[in-house]
Chain A
């Protein structure tokens, strides 16, 4: 592009450009730090930009992740062929056991139904699911999020719970038109209200960037036992109560930790739970200034 060499403009601009050239790198470093501060202050606008950019790149990520998924499927198929016989025996065994459980469950359901009718109990509305593929796993050392191929037009909303087959994996934190981002329960900023199964002790599940998130606010004098299962408590109204999260254990540091039921390191598909709970009462438990 040609610039007009107007005398006065050059007189003012030339020293300025000289200064910029001289301190180019320090200025860029300052700009990066300024961006971090803007990110803390102006969360809404940044969130919009993130959603747009993620929307734009999701189709590309979707295509790129297909070959990896196919290779993994092929490997899995080969592995299954090897121990087909043992697997079959194990499944038969499990099937007979599950049939017995089915009878128990049916009996309990009927009993539960009749008891509820006696009490006029108002049950929670049933949850519905949206299933989506995981296409992006940015894999930073300090950020644990995944990008999935379902967005606002599929009915995903911020704050909804994301499950894999076995248990809770995270919470939707950003929704674009056809993509959204899930903050995993291991992320530093993840906070999820949970309840312990047998002791009925409430606690807050807090990610600490390790594979086993910490349980916060468990009073020291309560009788919690390692091996207890942990469920979402439904407090805050965003998550349905009773989603399985993991199993409690006492870590090396003596603190209670939760071993997630879902394998968070290799997620392929996620189910987003649409739960029509208490509208408007939803209080999201996140730290201010965090990845929202």
Chain B
């Protein structure tokens, strides 16, 4: 029985990898780097992780968990409650319906897909903040944000792939 227990514990820990990696990505994105202008253009690491896990292992990342992660992000980062949940859930919804299309495609297609998702998420964020402050805001910061995410996409994805192969295959 003891072996069974340890085995189950091990499996549970492994299954928490998607969740854990998103929490880590969230905290990493918040670490202040003393680079000029960095705080304005922090890459959307959470979105990259979500993109990877929803396409490869959606069974280990339930929508409700993603929702909770969004709430956690808003609480720590000080953005209005619900904004992050909204665009993460919309991303999840879009990806889960298009998952079959992405599976087994080349990396280039994934990259292109992420670019679309990143800019879509930016538009959602921009809309929400523009509605909240009741006037048209400058959309440049959020577009820079998305562009940086697209540019950096291969690196976190490579790391996630390594983690995925090491612990979940």
Contact = CB atoms under 8 A, between A and B. Distances in A.
Interface of A: 24-25, 28-29, 31-36, 38-40, 46, 49-50, 53-54, 57, 60-61, 64-65, 68-69, 72, 134-147, 173-174, 181, 183, 188, 208-211, 263-268, 289, 291
B69 to A, nearest CB: 12
Nearest to A67: B31
A50 B75 contact: yes
A138 B30 contact: yes
21 contacts: A34-B82, A39-B81, A53-B72, A64-B28, A65-B32, A68-B31, A68-B32, A68-B33, A136-B30, A136-B76, A138-B42, A138-B77, A141-B141, A144-B39, A146-B32, A181-B78, A209-B138, A265-B40, A266-B33, A266-B36, A289-B132
Contacts of A211: 40
A183 B137 CA distance: 18
Contacts of A49: 75
B114 to A, nearest CB: 17
Interface stretch (B11-19, B53-61, B122-130): B122-130
* Interface residues of chain B: helix, strand, loop or mixed (majority): helix
A65 B70 CA distance: 22
A5 B76 CA distance: 41
A61 B31 CA distance: 7
A208 to B, nearest CB: 8
A136 B31 CA distance: 5
Given A54-B76, A142-B129, A142-B142, A29 B82 contact: no
B124 to A, nearest CB: 10
Contact of A57 (B27, B41, B90): B27
A31 B67 contact: yes
Interface residues of B, number: 50
A150 B83 CA distance: 27
A183 B83 CA distance: 18
A185 to B, nearest CB: 13
A223 to B, nearest CB: 30
B164 interface: no
Contacts of A34: 82
Interface in B94-153: 122, 125-126, 128-129, 132-133, 137-138, 141-142, 144-145
B34 A60 contact: no
B2 to A, nearest CB: 23
Contacts of A31: 67, 85
Interface of B: 27-42, 63-64, 67, 70-72, 75-83, 85-86, 89-90, 92-93, 122, 125-126, 128-129, 132-133, 137-138, 141-142, 144-145
Contacts of A72: 33-34
A139 B39 contact: yes
Contacts of B75: 49-50, 53-54
B80 A291 contact: yes
Given A36-B83, A137-B30, 16 more contacts: A24-B63, A28-B63, A28-B67, A32-B85, A36-B128, A38-B82, A49-B75, A68-B31, A137-B39, A141-B145, A143-B77, A144-B39, A145-B77, A188-B129, A266-B35, A268-B32
Given A32-B70, A68-B33, A209-B138, A174 B89 contact: no
Nearest to A287: B133
Contacts of B42: 137-140
A138 to B, nearest CB: 3
Nearest to B128: A36
A146 B41 CA distance: 15
Contacts of B125: 141-142
B41 to A, nearest CB: 7
Given A38-B81, A139-B40, A68 B76 contact: no
A183 B79 CA distance: 11
A143 B39 contact: no
B41 A139 contact: yes
B37 to A, nearest CB: 5
A263 B36 CA distance: 8
